[in-house]
Amino acid sequence: MFCIGVADYFCIFAHRLFISQQNIRYKGMEFLNRVFRGDKVVWVVFMILLLISVVEVFSAASMLTYDKEHFWSPIRGHSVNLLLGFIVVYGFHLVPYRFYKAVPFVLVPASIGMLLWVLLKGSDVNDAARWIDLGFITIQPSEFAKVGVVMGTAFLLSRTQSDDGAGPDAMNWILWMTGIVCALIAPENLSTAVLLFGVVFLMMYVGRVPLKQLGKLVLVLGAAGALFLSVLLFVPSKTLASIPGLNRLTTWQGRIKRFGDSDKVPAAQFKITDKNFQETHATMAIASSNVIGRGPGNSVERDYLPQAYSDFIYAIIIEELGLLGGAGVVLLYIILLVRAAKIAQRCRSYFPAFLVMGCALMLVAQAMLNMMVAVGLFPVTGQPLPLISRGGTSTIINCGYIGMILSVSYYTEKMELDAQLAAEQTAEADIPEILREQ
C-alpha cells in the first residue's frame, strides 16, 4: 500500500509538473508572438544574417585591428550599427503599412536634394563622391533614394491598378521618378543606379504593367546598354577621363575589359597588379576553401583584400565556412524572397503586396549581385552584401526593408484573424436562440 501511495503521489507530481511546463511553454510562445510580430521565418532569417555578419565582419576586419589599443573598435562600431538596425526593424514592424504610403512624397524629393548636394560637394571615399559628411555622421543619400523609389513605385502601381492590370500612365510616372533619381546616382555610383532601375523594372512586371510597354522599354534599354558598352570598349581612356563629371567611366572601362578578357595566362606567368588585385585575391580565397572551409576567423586572404569586410565579404565567408556556408547564405536570401512572395499573396490590397515584393527584390537582387562579383561572374561593382557587410547607412536602410516586410506580414495576418472572428460572430448570430441554448 505504501508503494502504491508513493507511485500515486509521483504520478500526480509528474502530471502537475507537465502541466506547469506546458503553461510556461504556452506563455513563452505567447510572449514571443506578442514581441516579435509578423512572419517568424523572416525574423529567423534576419537573426541568422546578423549573426553571420558579426562573426565574419570581425574576422574580415583584421586589417583594422592590428593596433591593440583599437582591437575592438571595428566590430564595436559595426555592432552599434546592427543594434540600431534591429531597433529600426522593431520600430518599422510596429507601424501599420498604410502609413508608408505617405513616405515617398517626402523621401523622394529629399533624396533628390541630397543627391544634388553630393554631386556638388560630396565627400570622397575610395575615389568616389557618394557621401554627405555632417561631421558627427556620414550618410549615403543613394540608400535613401533607393528605398524612396521602391516605396513610390509600390504606391504608383497600387493607385493605377484595375482588373486588367496597371494603367497605361503608371510606367510613365514611375520612369520619370526613377529616371531622375538614377541619373543623379549614376555619375558616382553606376552599379547602384543600374540595380535600382532593375528592381523597379521587376516591380513593374509584378505590378502587371502591360507587356507591350515593358517590351518597348527593354528595346530602349538594350540599345542604350549596347551604346554604353561600345563607348567603354572603343573610346580611349584618356578621352573618357577628360569628360567633366564622368571620370568614373574609366574605372568601369577597366573593370569590363578585365572581366571580358578571355586570354588564359599560365600560373607561372600570372602577375597580380593594382588593377586585378581584388578579383585575384577573392578568387584565391574561394579556391583555397573546401566543403567546410578553414573555420571562422582563419581566413588568409582577408589580410590582402582591401574591402574584405564589405564588397568581398562573400569570398571570406566561403573561405572560412566552405561551400556549405556559401550555399547556406544564398539559401537564406532565397527563403527571404519566397516568404515575401507568400506574404504578398495574402495581402488584400495592392500597396502592401507591391511594397513587400519591392523590399525583398531590392535585398535579394543586391545580394546576388555582390555574390556574383565575389565568384567572378560579374564585373566589380562595389555593392555590399545586405545585412552582412560592414556599413552604416546601408545597414540601417536594409533593416528598414525587413521592418516593412514584417509590418505587412503582421497587419495582413491581423486583418485575416479579425475577418475570421467577425465571420464566426455573424454565423453565431444567425443561429436561432433555441438552437444556441441546446
Confidence bin at 277 (pLDDT 50/70/90): confident
Q: Are 61 and 310 in contact (CB under 8 A)?
A: no
Percent of the chain predicted with pLDDT > 90: 36
Determine the pLDDT at residue 61. Answer: 75
**pLDDT confidence of 10, banded at 50, 70, 90?**
very low
Q: Is the pLDDT of residue 140 over 80?
A: yes
Q: How many CB atoms lie within 10 A of CB 87?
A: 13
Q: Is residue 308 pLDDT above 60, yes or no?
A: yes
Q: Could you tell me the residue range of the domain that residue 409 belongs to?
A: 38-262+273-422
Q: Is the pTM of this model over 0.75?
A: yes
Whether 114 maps to a domain, the answer reads yes
DSSP readout, 214-274?
HHHHHHHHHHHHHHHHHHHHHS-HHHHHTSTT-THHHHHHHHHHHHH------TTT----T
The amino acid at residue 197 is F
Residue 25 lies in a domain: no
Q: What is the pLDDT, as a whole number, of residue 88?
A: 94
Tally of domains in the chain = 1
Tell me which long-range contacts 127-133 makes (C-beta under 8 A, separation of at least 24): 127/251, 128/188, 128/189, 128/248, 128/382, 129/188, 130/188, 130/189
Lowest average pLDDT, out of 44-58, 61-75, 187-201, goes to: 61-75
pLDDT band with cut points at 50, 70 and 90 for residue 16: low
Q: Which of 71-80, 307-316, 364-373 has the lowest mean pLDDT?
A: 71-80
SS3 label, residue 388? coil
For residue 177, give the H/E element and its range: helix 170-185
Quick count: other Cβ atoms within 10 Å of Cβ 169? 11
Would 404 be classed as within a structural domain?
yes
User: What DSSP string describes 417-436?
Assistant: HHHHHHHHHHHHHTS-HHHH
- pLDDT of 293 reads 81
Domain-embedded: residue 429:
no
- The reported pLDDT for the residue numbered 398 is 94
Confirm whether 116 is domain-assigned. yes
Residue 15 confidence (pLDDT) above 60: no
Nearest Cα to Cα of residue 305 among 324, 320, 293, 326: 320
**Residue 129 backbone dihedrals phi, psi, to 5 degrees:** -90, 90
pLDDT exceeds cutoff 60 at 59: yes
In a domain, 267, yes or no: no
Which of 286, 268, 401, 255 is CA-nearest to residue 333? 401
| CA distances for 14 relative to 6, 9, 19, 26, angstroms | 12, 9, 9, 18
Average pLDDT over residues 221-230: 87
- Sorting pLDDT into bands at 50, 70 and 90, what band is 32? low
- Is the residue at 149 inside a domain? yes
The whole-angstrom separation of Cα 378 and Cα 260 is: 10
**CB distance 359 to 397 below 8 Å:** no
Closest CA to 153 of 186, 219, 198, 183: 198
pLDDT of residue 14: 45
Decide if 207 is inside a domain. yes
Residue with cell 509521483: 10
Bridging pattern class, strands 161-162 and 165-166: antiparallel
Q: What is the pLDDT of residues 141-167, one digit of tens each?
A: 889 999 999 999 999 999 988 888 888
Q: What percent of the chain has pLDDT over 70?
A: 77
